[in-house]
Amino acid sequence: MVSFDFVKRVRYGETDMMGYLYYGNYPQLYEIGRVETMRNLGLLYKDLEEKYRVMMPVVHVDARYILPAKYDEALTIRTILHELPSRLIVFTNEIYNEQSVLIHKAEVKLMFVDMDSLKKISCPEYMLEKLRPLF
Amino acid sequence: MVSFDFVKRVRYGETDMMGYLYYGNYPQLYEIGRVETMRNLGLLYKDLEEKYRVMMPVVHVDARYILPAKYDEALTIRTILHELPSRLIVFTNEIYNEQSVLIHKAEVKLMFVDMDSLKKISCPEYMLEKLRPLF
Amino acid sequence: MVSFDFVKRVRYGETDMMGYLYYGNYPQLYEIGRVETMRNLGLLYKDLEEKYRVMMPVVHVDARYILPAKYDEALTIRTILHELPSRLIVFTNEIYNEQSVLIHKAEVKLMFVDMDSLKKISCPEYMLEKLRPLF
Amino acid sequence: MVSFDFVKRVRYGETDMMGYLYYGNYPQLYEIGRVETMRNLGLLYKDLEEKYRVMMPVVHVDARYILPAKYDEALTIRTILHELPSRLIVFTNEIYNEQSVLIHKAEVKLMFVDMDSLKKISCPEYMLEKLRPLF
C-alpha cells in the first residue's frame, strides 16, 4: 500500500461566496495529491508524458463532501493506492482540515493512454518498477 | 420529470495541456446546468440564498468521463431531475458534444441548509411549488 | 474600428468569499470577449492554431477594477479593436453590469507566434483579410 | 522595503492547450505572493477580514508576460513593497522560473474597504504597525 500526505492551503480565489472552498476545486486537490505522491516515489508525471508518451486521463470520480473547507486553512491531502495498477489506477483521496478532521473523500480512477496511438494501454513498466516493492 | 438543455462553449482557459477540457472543470458545468434549469422553472438560486436564506451545498458527486471535450466545442449540458427533492436534491447531468455524442455523465446530490442556523432542512416550499406540477 | 458585445453570466464558482467575481477571473472574460469578437468576424481562433499554426500569447494586460460584479449578473463584455494589428494586436475590453454601468476596463496586448518555429510573426493574412475592410 | 519569495508549482489544471500556465492564472500567483508575504510579517489576511473587518479589493493590475511557465515548474513568486501603504497598497510581483529567469512582472494596487460601511479607508493600524519598522 502507498499513502502520502501533502499540505495545500485554501486560496481566496478558490473560495466561493458561500465562504468556503468551491466544490469544483476539489479535483485540483486530487491532482496535486496524486502528482506529489508519484514524485515522492521518484515518478514524475511530466516525464510520463514527455519521455514515455503516456497520459493518464481520469475516467471516474466518486466524491463525498463531508464538511466545508475554510479560506486559508492548510488542508492535508492524503493519497492512497490500495492496489498495484493494471489497466486502471485507483487513487483514494482523503482531505483533512487543520483539526485533522476528515472533510472530504474521493476515489479517482485513471486509465493509461499511449499519446501517439491514442490507445488504452496497461500501467507502464516505468511506474510498476517503483510501485511493486510497496505492495 | 424535469429535463433541460443548456449550451456552453469550452474556453481556452478551461483546457489543459492534454488539449482537452480539464477534468476538474466539469463540476462548473454541472453548476451551470442546474442553475439554468432552475431559472427555466422560474427559480433563481440567487433568490434562494438572498430571500429565502437557504443554501445548497453539494454532498456527493459521481462522475464518469467517457470522451474528452475539445476547445471551442459547444457542449450541451442536459440536467435531469428524476424525483421531487425532499432532504436531498439529485441532479443527473449528461454532457453531449457537437456530434450529440454523450461524453460525460454525473450524478450530483445537494442538501438544503438554513443559512442562519446552519442546520439541514428539507427542500423549501419556494422550490417545491414550482416542481410539484412536473412530477 | 471593431466593437462587439458578448453577454456572460457570473457563475458561483467564479465568485469568492467577498461575494463578488474574483479579480483573477477577469482575464477569462477578456478571452471570451476576443474569441467571440473574432468569431463574429468569421475568424476562428481554433482554426488559427490548427490550420494556420499561429498562436496568440498575451504579452501585456492593464486592468482597472472600477466596481465589483455580483453573482448571477449577466455582464456585457465589450471588445474593441482601435487599430489594425501588425506585430501586436491590442484589444480593449469594457465590462458593463446589468445596469449598463462600466465596472471594469482592460487593455490586452497579444503577439503572433508561429507554432512550428516558435518565432514571433506579424498578424497573419487570414486575419488581416477580414479586418482591413473595417478600418 | 519588503521583499519575500514564495515557491509554487504549476499544476496540470492551471495549464492550457498551449502547454503553458494559462495567462489568466497569474493573478492567483499575485494573491498567493501577497498573502504569504503578509503572513511572513505576522499579518493574516484572514484576520484582517474577520477581526478588523477590512477587505482589500484589487483596483489595478499591470502585468507583463515575458516568457511562458511550464507544467510542474516550481515558480518563485517574489513580492515587493516599495512604499508604506496609505490609501492604496502597491505590490510588485516578479515571477522567476526554475532557471531563475524573470518570466513575468506585475504591479497590483489594492485599496482598503471597511466591510461594514463599505467605505474606502486608509491602511489599518494593524498593518502599519508591522510595516513601519521595515521602511
Nearest chain B residue (CA) to A18:
B55
Instruction: Determine phi and psi for A32, rounding to 5 degrees.
Output: -60, -45
A65 touches D: beta carbon within 8 Å: no
Distance separating the N- and C-terminal Cα atoms of chain A: 5
Cβ-Cβ contacts under 8 Å, D23 against chain C: 27, 57-58, 61
Name the band, by pLDDT with cuts 50, 70 and 90, for residue C30: very high
CB pairs below 8 Å between B and C: how many?
Answer: 30
Q: Which of A16, A47, A62, A72 is catalytic?
A: A16
Instruction: Give the residue among C131, C120, C135 at the shortest CA–CA distance from C43.
Output: C131
pLDDT computed for residue D125 by the predictor: 95
**C-alpha distance from A131 to closest chain B C-alpha (Å):** 25
Alpha helices in A23-135 (DSSP H): 26-40, 45-50, 125-131
CB-based contacts of A97-101 (< 8 A; 24+ apart in sequence): A97/A67, A97/A69, A97/A70, A97/A73, A98/A73, A98/A74, A100/A76, A101/A67
The grid coordinates of residue D17 equal 492547450
| B47 tagged catalytic | no
ipTM of the complex: 0.96
Structurally, what CATH architecture does the domain formed by D2-134 represent? Answer: Roll (3.10)
Cβ atoms of residues D102 and D94 within 8 Å:
yes
Structurally, what CATH architecture does the domain formed by C2-128 represent? Answer: Roll (3.10)
| Among the partner residues B12, B27, B45, nearest to C31 by beta-carbon distance | B12
Cβ atoms of residues C27 and C104 within 8 Å:
no
Cβ–Cβ gap A13/C16 under 8 Å:
yes
Instruction: Give the residue among D15, B71, D14, B13 at the shortest CA–CA distance from C45.
Output: B71
pLDDT tens per residue, range C106-134: 999 999 999 999 999 999 999 999 999 99
Instruction: Determine phi and psi for C38, rounding to 5 degrees.
Output: -65, -45
CA distance D83 to C9: 38
Residue A55's H or E segment, with its range, is strand A54-55
Distance separating the N- and C-terminal Cα atoms of chain D: 5
Residue-level pLDDT, tens digit, chain A, 135 residues: 999 999 999 999 999 999 899 999 999 999 999 999 999 999 999 999 999 999 999 999 999 999 999 999 999 999 999 999 999 999 999 999 999 999 999 999 999 999 999 999 999 999 999 999 999
pLDDT computed for residue C49 by the predictor: 94
Name the band, by pLDDT with cuts 50, 70 and 90, for residue D54: very high
Q: At what angle do helices C26-40 and D26-40 cross, to 10 degrees?
A: 170
pLDDT tens per residue, range B110-133: 999 999 999 999 999 999 999 999
Residue C80's H or E segment, with its range, is strand C74-81
CB pairs below 8 Å between A and C: how many?
Answer: 30
% of chain A surpassing 90 pLDDT: 99
Name the band, by pLDDT with cuts 50, 70 and 90, for residue B82: very high
**Residues C104, C109, C115, C116: what is their CA dihedral angle, to the nearest 10 degrees?**
-170
The grid coordinates of residue C100 equal 449598463
% of chain A surpassing 70 pLDDT: 100
Cβ-Cβ contacts under 8 Å, B70 against chain D: none
pLDDT computed for residue A91 by the predictor: 98
